[in-house]
Amino acid sequence: MKFDDIIGHEKVRSEFDELIKMGKISHAHIICGEDGIGKSLIAKELAAKILGKTEIKEYADLIEWKINKGKKSISVDQVRSIIEEVNKKPYEGDKKVIIIHDADYVTIQGQNALLKTIEEPPYGVFIILLCETMGKLLDTIRSRCQLHKMKKLSHAEMMTFIKRKYGQLEDKETKSILAFSAGVPGKAEDFMENVSLKLIRNEVMDILINIKKMDYNSIVKYAEKLTEYKDLWREVIECFIVYIRDSLIYKETGKDDLIINNDKLEDIKKIAMQFSMNRLNRIFDMLNFARNNIEGNVSVELTYGTMLFKIQEV
C-alpha cells in the first residue's frame, strides 16, 4: 500500500513526518483511538518510514505482537517474548520496529516487565503501542512514550473511503453506512460485511418507536431477540445511544442536518416527540448503566430486559 493511499489522519501523520525529518523521532510511541479508526495502518506507515521504506507491507524488521488466540490479555510471559525479540539484532538494516496491538490489554505485571525496555530499548529499536484507551496503561508507561490521539474521519473522508472500498452505492445505503460508522472506517467495513448489524439497527429503532405501547411479553421477546446478537452487545448498546443522542439533538435544535442517523430521520423525529428532554437524558443514563453492567459480566439477557422495562417506565 502506498502512503498516498491512506485516507485522513493528516495531523498525526504530519507530526511523524516532521519528527523523522528533524531526526527527533522517539524510540517509544503510543497511538490511541477506538477500534477500526486506523491505528494499525498509521503505525505501519510510521514503521515503514523509520525503516526507510516507501510503502506499507511486511518487512523483516517490522514485528507485530497481538493477544494470543483464545486469550483476553497479553500476559507477562508473552511480554518476555516481546522483550526477547526486541533484543535481537535487526535482520536487514540497523533499525527494527516493534508494534504491540491492544497494549491496553497488557496485564499490570506485563506492563511493569516492559517498562525498562520502553525506557531504554537497544539502539535502533522503536516500539509502538496501540490502544483504544490510555486509561489502562500505567502512568510510568505513558510518561516514557510520545502520545498520539487518532481522530475520526470527516464526512468527506468517509465518503472517499466508502466510494474507494465499495464503489457507487445507493444514496440510502451510503447514509446508513455513514450513520453506523460515525467516522470509523472499520465500522463501515463491519456494517457492509455483517448483515446482523443492519438488522440490529432496524430492531433497535422498532423498540424505541413502539416501546411505550408494548406489553410485558413483547418486551421479554425483544430482550431475547437482542440477546441472539450476544457477541455484538456493544453495537446493540451503541445503536440505542446514537438514536437517543440524535433525538436529543433534534428536540433541542429542530435541525435535520445535525442528525447522524439521517437515513432514519423521520423515526428520530417520532422518538423526539414521544419523550421529553428530561426523559431522553434519563434513557441515555440507563444505556450507559446497561453497558457498564455487561462489561462487569452481568447477564446480557437480564441487562437487556431490565433496560427495556426501565425505558418503558421512564
Cα–Cα dist 208/308, whole Å:
9
Cα–Cα dist 207/195, whole Å:
19
Closest CA to 311 of 232, 213, 217, 234: 213
pLDDT at 130: 98
C-alpha 259 chain-centroid distance: 21
Task: Please write the tens of the pLDDT for every residue from 181-201.
Answer: 989 999 999 999 999 999 999
Cα–Cα dist 83/104, whole Å:
17
Average pLDDT, the chain: 94
Cα–Cα dist 246/29, whole Å:
36
pLDDT at 172: 84
Q: Where in the chain do CATH 1.20.272.10 domains reside?
A: 194-313
pLDDT at 115: 95
Upper half-sphere CA count for residue 175 (Cβ side, 13 Å): 11
pLDDT-above-90 percentage for the chain: 89
Q: Where in the chain do CATH 3.40.50.300 domains reside?
A: 3-149
pLDDT at 260: 86
Task: Please write the tens of the pLDDT for every residue from 73-98.
Answer: 999 999 999 999 999 999 999 999 99
- Judged against a pLDDT cut of 90, whether residue 168 lies above it is answered with no
Question: Grid coordinates standing for 91?
Answer: 535482520
Q: Is CATH 3.40.50.300 what the domain over 3-149 is classified as, yes or no?
A: yes
pLDDT at 267: 95
Query: pTM for this structure?
Result: 0.83
Task: Please write the tens of the pLDDT for every residue from 139-152.
Answer: 999 999 999 999 99
pLDDT band for 114, please (50, 70, 90 cuts).
very high
pLDDT at 171: 87
pLDDT at 151: 94
Fold (CATH) for 194-313: Zinc Finger, Delta Prime; domain 3 (1.20.272)
Task: Please write the tens of the pLDDT for every residue from 116-133.
Answer: 999 999 999 999 999 999
What is the mean predicted confidence (pLDDT) over 143-165? Answer: 95
What is the mean predicted confidence (pLDDT) over 241-252? Answer: 95
Question: Grid coordinates standing for 216?
Answer: 410485558
